[in-house]
């Protein structure tokens, strides 16, 4: 099946599960507090719905606009903007008639479900599949590092032994840790067999980001040779039968060397040196815009393409602890990455539904599906609790204000705030999905 449809099907199923459970997070406490829920919809039913059925006091249905879902809670200023109902005298079964603490529980219910669901999925994944890891010994040729990392004592081929005094259990965690966590003290094993403790600045992640050296680690090193030519290299005249010698005068022995060479010489032209019929030849490749170097590699060490992955198995009790810890760090890292989003470069990388669909694999794999679903669930929890009117976090913000000051914001104020928040969200959705379309058109 076409990968496009496989990714789309996984995205649709994942979001449907998460949206329904999120809305149940609002629905259940509302009903427990005897608040009437008038509608419960998967997707938005603007003008019409694909399906609806009234059961008791609630109309359940499926809308045609797949931008989320909602529950319409009686006596609440929400996306329905039901001003007529709000103009009437409050009824005892309406949201606005209940104590602030009950309204707060109703509003945080959806986010709570998303957090608990994400953690639960991780617990079950670890309980059923275990956890994979690679030790320093599994990195046969060590890591390739970005140029900025060399300023702090890292050498090409280093292996990471510990971070802040704690042994690094999985070598493949280090690139993510560099960008998202405190990695002030790192003990490495150099290729010559010596160990050294290196010190990194607190803002190393931002330094790498601004330098265009995402993650600071150019993946584990693997010996390669030139295998294919396309893009700029093909236009310049490089042949697949050439022996690649260097890029920008930096020798290319490992795959990570090519990335390093381009990071070190941030220029609009990349100089490729090859051997052809025993003679050295140089070709200049223009970069920028839609141009890229265009060299592909094949592995010289067929027994080592990526580090070996071991599996660690846990009992169910241990899985609970490990799953919660894993979920915590996923949430932590996602929240931390927003410091990159609020930069000119980071804003251009924000993605919409296309970027989310890209998280799923090209072929259906239940493990990957549930891992991605857990990740999206935590993303939804974090995004929904942001203090933006029209999101759960906006309602929570106003409720906390009411609980602290004893003064409830006026209905008119809440209506205006809801409208502003709604337009902000629409603008963000259009911007994010516009980025997806732009990257798809340009191949970026």
Question: Are residues 84 and 155 part of one domain?
Answer: no
Beta-strand pair 250-251/185-189: unpaired
Q: Which CATH number is 232's domain given?
A: 2.30.42.60
Q: Is residue 294 part of a domain?
A: yes
For the stretch 373-406, pLDDT in tens is 999 999 999 999 999 888 899 999 999 999 999 9
- Residue 193 placed within a domain: yes
Quick check: is 186 in a domain?
yes
Answer whether residue 410 is part of any domain.
yes
pLDDT(67) > 60? yes
213 and 241 together in one domain: no
56 & 88 share domain: yes
Residue 38, C-beta contacts closer than 8 angstroms, at least 6 positions apart: 57, 58, 59, 72, 73, 74
Q: State the pLDDT confidence band at 86, using cuts at 50, 70 and 90.
A: low
**118 and 21 fall within a common domain:** yes
Domain with 200, as residue range(s), is 136-220
Domain shared by 38 and 90, yes or no: yes
Based on the domain organization, do 83 and 109 belong to the same domain? Answer: yes
pLDDT, tens only, 155-191: 999 999 999 999 999 999 999 999 999 999 999 999 9
Query: How many Å is the maximal CA-CA distance in the chain?
Result: 90
The per-residue pLDDT for range 197-241, each reduced to its tens digit, is 999 999 999 999 999 898 889 889 999 999 999 989 999 999 999
Is residue 316 assigned to a domain?
no
Q: Which of 216, 154, 139, 232 is nearest to 186 (CA)?
A: 154
Axis crossing angle, helix 316-336 with helix 100-129, rounded to the nearest 10 = 120
Q: Could you give the percent of the chain with pLDDT greater than 90?
A: 68
Is residue 92 domain-resident?
yes
> Which residue, of 299, 334, 355, is where some domain finishes?
299
Residues 15 and 95 in one domain: yes
Residue 345 within a domain: no
What average pLDDT does the segment 408-423 reach?
85
Res 290: pLDDT: 61
Say yes or no to pLDDT of 409 above 90: no
Distance CA 255, CA 150 (A): 18
> Are 52 and 164 within one domain?
no
Instruction: Let me know: does 388 contact 418? Beta carbons within 8 Å.
Output: no
- Residue that is last in its domain, among 201, 220, 239: 220
143 and 166 in a common domain: yes
- Other CB atoms closer than 10 Å to residue 100's CB: what's the count? 16
CB contact at 8 A, 292 and 231? yes
Please report, for the domain that includes residue 159, its CATH number: 2.30.42.10
* Residue range 100-116: mean pLDDT, rounded: 96
Does residue 92 share a domain with residue 7? yes
Q: Which of 280, 299, 318 is the last residue of a domain?
A: 299
- Residue (of 66, 59, 58, 64) closest to 46 by Cα position: 64
Q: Name which of 77, 37, 66, 306 is nearest 171 in CA terms.
A: 306
Question: How many domains does one find in the chain?
Answer: 3
Q: Are 141 and 221 in contact (CB under 8 A)?
A: yes
Cα distance between residue 426 and residue 392, in whole Å: 16
In the structure, what pLDDT confidence band is assigned to residue 260 with cuts at 50, 70 and 90? very high
Count Cβ neighbours within 10 Å for each residue of 53-72 and write b for 16 or more, e otherwise.
eeeeebbbbebeebebbbbb
pLDDT of residue 263 exceeding 70, the answer is: yes
pLDDT score of 268: 86
Residue 275 — very low, low, confident or very high, per pLDDT cuts 50/70/90? Answer: very high
For residue 399, tell me if it sits in a domain: yes
How many Cβ atoms sit within 10 Å of the Cβ of residue 363?
Answer: 11
Same domain, 21 and 107: yes
pLDDT band at 195 (very low <50, low <70, confident <90, very high): very high
- What band does 350 get if pLDDT is binned at 50, 70 and 90? confident
The string of pLDDT tens digits covering residues 33-43 is 999 999 999 99
My answer on whether 122 and 11 are in the same domain is: yes
């Amino acid at each position: 099946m076409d990968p496009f449809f496989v990714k789309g099907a996984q995205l649709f199923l994942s979001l449907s599960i998460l949206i329904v459970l999120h809305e149940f997070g609002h629905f259940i406490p509302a009903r427990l507090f005897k608040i009437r829920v008038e509608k419960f919809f998967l997707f938005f039913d603007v003008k019409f719905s694909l399906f609806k059925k009234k059961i008791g006091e609630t109309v359940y249905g499926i809308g045609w606009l797949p931008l989320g879902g909602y529950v319409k809670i009686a006596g609440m200023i929400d996306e329905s903007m039901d001003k007529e109902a709000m103009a009437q005298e409050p009824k005892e079964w309406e949201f606005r008639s209940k104590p602030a603490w009950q309204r707060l529980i109703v509003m945080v219910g959806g986010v709570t479900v998303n957090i608990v669901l994400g953690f639960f999925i991780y617990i079950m994944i670890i309980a059923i599949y275990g956890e994979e890891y690679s030790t320093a010994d599994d990195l046969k040729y060590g890591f390739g590092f970005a140029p900025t990392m060399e300023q702090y004592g890292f050498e090409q081929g280093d292996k990471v032994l510990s971070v802040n005094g704690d042994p690094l259990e999985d070598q493949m965690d280090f690139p993510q840790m560099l960008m998202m966590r405190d990695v002030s003290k790192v003990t490495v094993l150099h290729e010559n067999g010596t160990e050294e403790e290196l010190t990194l600045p607190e803002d190393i992640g931002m330094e790498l980001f601004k330098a265009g050296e995402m993650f600071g680690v150019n993946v584990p090193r693997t010996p390669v040779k030139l295998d294919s030519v396309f893009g700029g290299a093909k236009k310049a005249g490089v042949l697949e039968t050439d022996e690649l010698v260097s890029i920008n005068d930096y020798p290319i022995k490992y795959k990570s060397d090519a990335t390093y060479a381009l990071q070190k010489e941030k220029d609009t032209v990349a100089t490729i040196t090859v051997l052809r019929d025993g003679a050295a030849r140089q070709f200049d490749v223009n970069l920028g815009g839609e141009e890229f170097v265009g060299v592909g590699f094949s592995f010289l060490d067929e027994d080592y393409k990526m580090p070996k992955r071991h599996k660690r198995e846990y009992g169910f009790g241990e899985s609970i602890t490990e799953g919660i810890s894993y979920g915590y760090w996923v949430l932590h890292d996602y929240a931390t990455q927003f410091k990159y989003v609020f930069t000119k470069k980071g804003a251009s990388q924000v993605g919409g539904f296309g970027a989310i669909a890209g998280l799923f694999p090209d072929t259906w794999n239940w493990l990957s599906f549930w891992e991605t679903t857990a990740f999206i669930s935590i993303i939804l929890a974090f995004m929904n609790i942001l203090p933006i009117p029209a999101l759960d976090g906006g309602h929570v913000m106003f409720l906390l204000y009411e609980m602290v000051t004893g003064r409830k914001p006026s209905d008119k104020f809440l209506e205006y705030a809801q409208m502003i928040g709604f337009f902000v969200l629409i603008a963000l959705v259009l911007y994010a999905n516009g980025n997806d379309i732009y990257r798809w058109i340009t191949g970026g």
